[in-house]
Structure 1
Amino acid sequence: MISVQNHLLPLSGNKWLLFFITALILGACSPKVRPVSTPVKKQTEKPENKAAEKSPVKPETRAAVISMILPMGLDHVRPRTYSSAGLTQANMSVEYYQGFKLALDSLTAEGANFKLQLYDSKDDASAAHSLAYNPQIRTSDLVVGPVFPDGMKVFTATMGTRVPILSPLSPASPGTINNPNLITVIPPLEYHAWGAAQYINEKIKPKKIFILRSGFSQENDYIVNFKKAIDSLGKKKIKVVTLTISRGQLGSLIPQLSKTERNVFVMPATDQAFLGVTLRSLDTLSKNYPVVLFGHPSWEKFNFLKTDILQRLNTHITSTDKINYKHGATIAFLRNYRKAYHVEPTDFAIKGFDEGLYFGRQLFEGDAGMAELDKTDFTGIHNSFHFVKKPGLGWVNAHVNILMYTNFELKQVE
């Protein structure tokens, strides 16, 4: 059974609002998945002692309380007062909630019992601060949210270490929050760097790696963690050469390149102008020197990148959002989500479903399930979960997928 409480402000009525409320109501009333019952055969003889035939009544499982804090901004619910950003956040919140709720509904078939409490953070630091004092939240078994890092910092600082707090959609480093009960489910950038380094070390085994940087400081986080990972995994036997490239000039690299072995390049840049020029230069270089390129995880969403060039450069990227729409679990989820909500699921809905399924199961296991996340890996629809415990920082999902451009599309290689 799932009990849903909506602690929201009174709202004025209009067509858009009706649609919004309908979405929440559908989420609260989505059908639960229950096992098919087996017909009982009629008895040919009456039992002499009916009381003895009765099975003992099993007590109802205690409901695990989950408090969800999402930026719905319902005090701006009228279309004329909702900003574009606010409307995007509201849609994201409803989509994530519906996916999470569908997962909890499916777990009731296994005997689980949940009480899901929904709160509006309004994407406001003062609101997050106030919610941290709410006794219903403070006595929860799991808190999901706030979504954005600023709200999470204020909330956790006030909340302390009373209950596990799940950061559901942000890849922000847990080092910026510093709470031992934090659960970071979207791998931060440092784990993308580590995943790329691990793949290079194990699958390519190069003697040298070239890091091509644009000079922008935002690349430093990736570069520092990549170097640290390569030194650790390769036992400092792999030489890392870092160069700042201007106007695509790669001529100084030629004396260090091999014509027989794969030359590994890492480009953590996200600047469009830099990428356009440098990738073309690297493409020219690849005509005489074998090249393998590893890019920033954001490249997956960049429409300005030329797929044909990326494919010729044997480009790899790390990702946490690769969905196999032909997989049986994905097909079943799509069917159930459409049936429950009569709309197509978004990436936020899929993330909500994966997280609801995993953490719902962990709560079903009791205190041991939430205390030993590192002992329970999970393969979801959008990503897998492999949690590591970081002292003072909580639990962090360290799993990233390795994708490669093949046949003009990104395909998973690991």
Structure 2
Amino acid sequence: MISVPNHRPPLSGNKWFIVFISLVIGACSPKLRPVPQPTVKTNTEKPATTTQKQVEKPPVKPTVSEAKTSVISLILPLDLPKAASGQTYTSADLKKANMSVEYYQGFKLALDSLASAGANYKLQLFDSKDDASQAHSLAYNPQIRNGDLIVGPVFPEDVKTFTSVLTAARKPIVSPLSPASPLTFKNQNLITMTPPLEYHAKGAATYIAAKVKPKKVFILSSGFSDEELYNSPFKRTMDSLSKRKIPVIATVITRGNLTPLIPQLSATEQNIFIVPSTKQAFLLVILHSLDTLSKKFPITVFGHPNWEKFSFLKAGQLQRLHTYITSSDRVNYKSGQTNMFLRSYRRAYRAEPTDFAIKGFDQGMYFGELLAKDDSSFQKPDQNDYTGIHNSFHFVKKPGVGWINTHVDILRYENFDLKKVE
């Protein structure tokens, strides 16, 4: 079963809050119909070669005893006092609260599915209020400290103050949504679920070195220092993989002027350009310049992962430039696994799942499966890979900063859409 402690009843007419409270109260209701479960695989496990072999395998049952109940604490920025009479949510506060509810719903749907197969969980929900002092206080809460797994807080400052208390070796603390570098927190217990930017840069460099194999690579920068968070790991990875045989030429571009680079371009082979900027004014100018240049030279562009969110970018132009980006949360809505999840979510909540709900579901499935085992698997994420709906999990363990999910997908613009190529 899953149990969730009740919070104060609603004192205002906030419809969102009433819906949320009804979900909390209903947390011990009969379990939902099982959702098809992606399998958590150890890194040494060999996949079945045919579908028939998978069917013939006996069902895997949790090796845990019926009496075992795994205690999971979710720490989310609900900011519940603002739902009280006389209080109001700002639009920013309400956005955070809705995000929290959506993540919670996805996470709980995953645990309900696993519970229907015999696993037992106690799901505790705590409000961080997106307040660093509240997060610091929660770190001393014995209900949280004595559980099996902590998921949250969400925002970097809250994670930093929370983890500053729990520095000794202990059970895992999951940073569920933030892509902030774990070097920010320096906590050996932390599991970073969203790959930080440096792993997007490393993913792009790995793909270029292995698949494209260019003679040289150009990095076109706007001059802002934050772009070094991408440029530095990209160059280090390229230098390492190519043994410095593929030169990486970094240059700051002013007013979209690419003329100084023309003598170095190839008229017959693809010229690879890395554009790490997220600044709209710069991107509009530099992409126009590259588009013009592509009439005379073969051009391939690798962009920042946030480009996927930018409505001002033109799909046709990006397609002409053979543009690639990396992604850690691309959902394939045409897959059978995704569609079965969508049906289960709609049936449970009478709503469409957001990206936060999907992430909550994937993470709930991953940790729920590991906790259901009668061993310490959930404390060894680097030994357990997972393929989910929005992303895959492949963790590396770094001394002093915990485990980091390093998996990113490579996407390419095709037919005015982004298609996964790796």
Q: Same fold (TM over 0.5)?
A: yes
- Equivalent residue number for residue 77 of structure 2: 71
Q: Report the residue type matching 2:386 in the other structure.
A: F
Say which of 242, 251, 275 aligns to 1:267: 275
Amino acid at match of 1:177: F
Q: Give the partner amino acid of 1:343.
A: A
| Structure 2 length-normalised TM | 0.90
Match of residue 372, structure 2, among 361, 364, 384: 364
Against the structure 1 CA distance between its residues 269 and 176, is the aligned structure 2 distance closer, same or farther, given a 3 Å change threshold? same
Distance of aligned partners of 1:28 and 1:350 in 2 relative to their CA distance in 1, 3 Å threshold: farther
Equivalence for 2:320: 312
Distance 1:15 1:225, change over 3 A: closer
1:135 counterpart = 2:142: yes
Q: Is the 8 A contact 2:307 2:325 kept in 1?
A: yes
Q: Mean alpha-carbon deviation: is it higher for 201-210 or for 78-87?
A: 78-87
CA distance in 2, matches of 1:123, 1:244: 38
Amino acid at match of 1:140: G
> 2: CA distance between counterparts of 1:90 and 1:26?
19
Does 2:159 correspond to 1:152? Answer: yes
SS at match of 2:165: helix
Structure 2: stretches of 5+ with no match in the other structure: 36-63
Partner of 2:67: 61
State which drifts further: 366-375 or 161-170.
366-375
Gap change, CA 1:109 and 1:30, over 3 Å in 2:
closer
Q: Distance in 2 between matches of 1:365 and 1:252?
A: 60
Q: How far apart in 1 are the matches of 2:30 and 2:95?
A: 23
Tell me the residue number matched to 2:361. 353
Question: For structure 1, which segment, 362-371 or 183-192, has the greater mean C-alpha deviation from structure 2 after superposition?
Answer: 362-371
Which deviates more from structure 2 when the two are superposed, residues 239-248 or residues 370-379? 370-379
1:196 aligned partner, one-letter code? A
1:31 offset after TM fit, Å? 2.9
RMSD: 1.7
Q: Give the residue type in structure 2 aligned to 1:116.
A: L
The match for 2:111 is: 104
CA contact (8 A) 1:27 1:98 kept: no
- Distance in 1 (CA, whole Å) between partners of 2:112 and 2:252 is 52
Q: Give the paired residue count.
A: 391
Structure 1, unaligned runs of 5 or more: 36-57
**Is the CA contact (8 Å cut-off) linking 2:386 and 2:393 kept in structure 1?**
yes
- 1:124 aligns with 131
Q: Which deviates the most, 260-269 or 371-380?
A: 371-380
Select the structure of larger CA radius of gyration.
1
- Kindly report which structure 2 residues correspond to 1:373-384, keeping only aligned pairs within 5 A, or say none: 373-384=381-392
Moved over 4 A (4+): none
AA of the residue aligned to 1:121: S
Matched, 1:2 2:8: no
User: Residues 342 and 30 (structure 1 numbering): CA distance in 2 closer, same or farther, change over 3 Å?
Assistant: farther
* Identity in percent: 61
CA deviation string 1:358-398 (max 9, x = no partner): 01111112442123212221110000100111111101000
Greater RCO structure (CA 8 Å; 6+ sep): 2
Give the aligned residue type for 2:11. S
1:247-295 superposed Cα distances (whole Å, 9 cap, x missing partner): 0100001100001111000000011011001100100111111111000
Deviations 1:200-243 (A, max 9, x none): 00100012000000001110110011011111111111101011
For residue 333 of structure 2, the aligned residue among 322, 325, 328 is: 325
